[in-house]
Structure 1
Amino acid sequence: MQEYERKQLLERVGREGATVGADIPETITVQGEAIDLQTFVFEIKRRETIPAGERERVERAKKNLRRERLERVERIEEDDISRETGEELARSIVGIDRALNALENLGSTDLEREQQAKQAADTKRWMSFLQKALGREDTAASRGGR
């Protein structure tokens, strides 16, 4: 895979609206174990309230999905993979993000708090973008012999 292709895939999985229209994968292998992810998410979301035992299961699933997502992003960043493998990884990452979004929104009824969290996340992403952009400019200027 070419470096520009790798960057495109990483940008795609990092994009805010990447999950719009994306499907939750039917099954996914996490830590070597196949999980019926789509069924799990739909079962959990169908319930009005989540019992305490199920809440622990959901939290554990979210933790494992986040870990799997990170591992797949790292494979795109660091491994010598083909374009096809990279595309497959990117699709699976977006699917994981879709499942995580669905699981994160369980029982969320405080719309104001949710909006504040979204604004804080947007601000954080913007600041990160600016730091990267400015950091690259500063590095390029210092290499230029200032």
Structure 2
Amino acid sequence: MKEFERKQLLERVNREGATIGVDIPDRIDVQGEEVELRDFVFEIKRRDTVPEGEKDRVEQAKKNLRRERLQRLQQIEDNEVSYEEGQRLVESIVGIDRALNALEQLRPANLEQESQLQEAQDRKRWMNFLKQALGREKSSRSSRGGR
């Protein structure tokens, strides 16, 4: 592959917004094992949070996807493939990035619970503050009015 073609492929991988409009691949070979990537991502994403029992599985999948992405990118960077193969690798890398983005957006279930607890505590503190502020205001009015 020519140098300008290699740079063009690398620019496409690293371009801001490269994953916009890109589908997650149905299947992908990750670390020598075929993975039903789209089904996996949508199964996890459907829950909106990562259940405690699935956390390790999701973290391992993200780790494997990152490793696979790096290996594919390295093949292009080292100019080990033809331009056509480089194009296929770029498509797969962008698909991996899309899957990683979807998985990174998930929140662990315990973070959601912590967030809800924090909101409840904030509301309680706010209400206590308002009660105190309004209570003091009432007592100072009555003391002024009695003078």
**TM-score (normalised: structure 1):** 0.71
The alignment-based identity, stated in percent, is: 65
1:45 — aligned with what?
45
Distance 1:48 1:61 in 2: 17
Distance 1:48 1:66 in 2: 21
Where 1:16 maps in the other structure, the secondary structure is coil
2:63 — aligned with what?
63
Where 1:59 maps in the other structure, the secondary structure is helix
Distance 1:55 1:44 in 2: 10
The number of equivalent residue pairs is 110
How many Å apart are 1:79 and its aligned residue? 3.6
Partner amino acid, structure 2, of 1:13: V
Where 1:29 maps in the other structure, the secondary structure is strand
2:85 — aligned with what?
85
Question: Which has the higher Rg, Structure 1 or Structure 2?
Answer: 2
Q: Alpha carbon RMSD of aligned pairs, Å?
A: 1.7
How many Å apart are 1:89 and its aligned residue? 0.1
How do residues 1-146 of structure 1 correspond to structure 2 at under 5 angstroms? 1-107=1-107
After superposition, the C-alpha distances for 1:100-146 in whole angstroms (9 at most, x for unaligned) are: 00000012899xxxxxxxxxxxxxxxxxxxxxxxxxxxxxxxxxxxx
Partner amino acid, structure 2, of 1:20: I
Structure 2 residues without counterparts, runs of 5 or longer: 113-147
Partner amino acid, structure 1, of 2:3: E
How many Å apart are 1:86 and its aligned residue? 0.3
How many Å apart are 1:49 and its aligned residue? 3.4
Q: Is the 8 A contact 2:48 2:106 kept in 1?
A: no
Where 1:17 maps in the other structure, the secondary structure is coil
How many Å apart are 1:50 and its aligned residue? 2.2
Distance 1:76 1:51, change over 3 A: same
Moved over 2 A (4+): 107-110
1:121 — aligned with what?
none
**TM-score (normalised: structure 2):** 0.71
